[in-house]
Structure formats: structure tokens, C-alpha cells
Copies of this chain bind each other. A is one copy, B any other.
């Protein structure tokens, strides 16, 4: 089990790699029906004649899977993965059969001036498929807390 990290444990360059998630057609279609009902996410046949030239996962599905990978294994933060926002980019489609994992790197650690017990951490999280191709690039700003003082002898 990964260590549970606090603000003071993170420095620019700290890297993490998540476990894997195997994606299939049924998952792609189920997510699309619920949240992104467009032909290229819903039906493999219809998808062939669209821009995607075949079934592709909703970008928000890729984002949701990425979040699960970060929460479960990809970003071992003691108080959870709490994002204020960030940049997201989908350089290529996620496809049925893809096996995804997330590689993250801390870019910046910004202690809060007004709230000494916390800070913002900028991370770059790349979601890659089984060929090592980046299907999503996310640069979240995360709210990260310091280790509670009672657990650290002064």
C-alpha cells in the first residue's frame, strides 16, 4: 500500500504511477448513454462514418477513469485528491480494448499564505494506453493539507 502523503512530502519532480484499467465497448456505451449520448460514443457501426472513424470513449469517461486511478493508486494523498480545476486535453481517442494507466508528476508546490495548514499543488497527470500513447493530459491544481501537527513531534 502506498504511503499517505502530505503537502510537505511533495516537491517538484515527485512522480507517481497508477494501476491499470481495462476499457471495453460495454463500459464506453454505458457511460455515453448516461452522460454523452453522441453517435461516435454509442454505436460502433454508426461511429465508423464519424470524425472518430470508430467507437471512441467520451473524453469525460477517460477523465472519470483517470480520477478513479488517481484516487485508488495514482496519487497517494492522505486527505484525498481534491481538485480546484486545471487544464485538460485529449490528444487522441480512447478506444475499446485500451488498457489505461496514469503517470503523474508534481510541477509546483504553493503553500497558502493565509491558510498555513494547506497549499496548492500543480500536477501533470498523463493517461496512457497500452502502447504508451497519451490519451489525456490533465494539469490539475490540487488542494493538499499539511500533516496534522499532533502526529509530528516538534
Contact surface of A with B, Cβ cutoff 8 Å: 31, 34-40, 50-51, 58-60, 63-65, 67-68, 71-72, 79-90, 137, 143
Contact = CB atoms under 8 A, between A and B. Distances in A.
B64 A51 contact: no
A148 to B, nearest CB: 13
Contacts of A137: 85
Contact of A51 (B38, B71, B79): B79
Nearest to A145: B51
A80 B35 contact: no
A84 B85 CA distance: 17
A51 B115 CA distance: 13
Given A34-B68, A35-B65, A36-B71, 17 more contacts: A31-B64, A34-B64, A35-B67, A36-B67, A37-B71, A37-B72, A38-B80, A40-B80, A50-B80, A60-B60, A60-B67, A63-B63, A83-B90, A84-B89, A86-B87, A86-B89, A88-B88
Contact of A84 (B68, B80, B90): B90
